[in-house]
Structures are given as C-alpha cells and as structure tokens.
Amino acid sequence: MVWYSLKIGNWSIRYTPLNPIIKEYPSCNKDGKLLKKVAGRFESGYFIDEKGNKYDTAFKLINGKPYAKLQKTKETSNYKEVDINEVEDLLQERVYLAECNELLNELTNSEKSLKFGFTNGNGFKVYKAYIYPSKIYKGYLFMSLGTTQISEIIKEINEVKKEKKKLAEIDISLQGINRAKIEELITI
C-alpha cells in the first residue's frame, strides 16, 4: 500500500488509493482441465493445456466446474431492500442514471435502496449493485456498481498498521540488547 503526501493550507495529509479487490478465476477447457494463456503478437492469443494442445476459447474454473462467460443482467428477482447509507460503503466503480418513477417514489419515502447482483456480460466480473434516490439531485435515481465494500479495505489497512506497530516494537526491543563484540567470541 503506497501513501502519498499532500499539503492543504496548514494541514499535511497522507492519502492512498482504495482499489477494488479483484477475484480472478483460472482458465480451463470444457472438461475443467487448466489452461495457460499464450499472448499473440500479430495474431490472436490462444490457450494451451499441459500437453500442448491449443484452444482458441477458454472457460473459467469456478468452484471446480467450467463456466462460459456471463450474460448481461436484464432481469432479477433476487434483491433486497437495505438502508440507503449502505451505498456509501461501496467502492463505486461505475455509476448509472436510472429511471423508474414508481421505484424512485417508493425508495424516497422508505429511505431505502435496492441491493442485487449485476453483470455487464461477456466476462466474469460480477458487481454488487445498488439502486437509490440521489441525496443531491432530487427526483433522480442512480445505480452504483462495485465489487468491494470500503469497510473491507479499511479493515485490511488497520491490520497492516497493527503488523507494522508490532514490528516496530520488536525492533525497539532488539535495539535494547547489547551486541557481542568480535573480541568476546574469538581469541586471536
């Protein structure tokens, strides 16, 4: 994790980017055998298995089974109503303007948002999606997509800080120990 410095007026700030946690799946053939990608130079890339067999297309091995690319989400009945403040914990990777007056009115009155799974299709990236009424732009509905909650990243940062603090304490205790001199260990 890289921290940068920024001076704003009299305040000295340290900041670090919050990057989404990316989940990668290994490539495989239709039988679930792992494949290695070979990048093409002037031709299209391809995949090979351990025996050197060539494949133009690959699947992803998810939970031990091969899967083809996802299709774009066009319909879902698997959603839940959550507190609108939960949207602020999402590391937003994409934001869309949405239209549905009935939903806008219902979510505005209940101060809730809808949470569901979403994919843009043609790949394996699945987002957490929230549809919510804007706090700033009254009368507008937004849909935000992300893969990571900010609280997950902050938890990870805090764990790294604790580890650094422990290492600093160990280093300080080591500095308090006298080091042996060569003359004490060997006679010349």
How many residues can be counted in the chain?
188
Contacts of 82 (CB under 8 A, 6+ apart): 112, 113, 114, 115, 130
pLDDT score of 127? 94
Each domain of the chain, given as residue ranges in start order, spans: 4-67, 79-150
Is the model's pLDDT at 168 over the cut of 80?
Answer: no
Give the per-residue pLDDT at 176: 57
What confidence score (pLDDT) does residue 21 get?
A: 85
pLDDT the model gives residue 1 = 73
Residue 58 pLDDT > 70:
yes
Stretch 130-139: mean pLDDT: 95
pLDDT band at 117 (very low <50, low <70, confident <90, very high): very high
Quick check: 171 pLDDT over 80? no
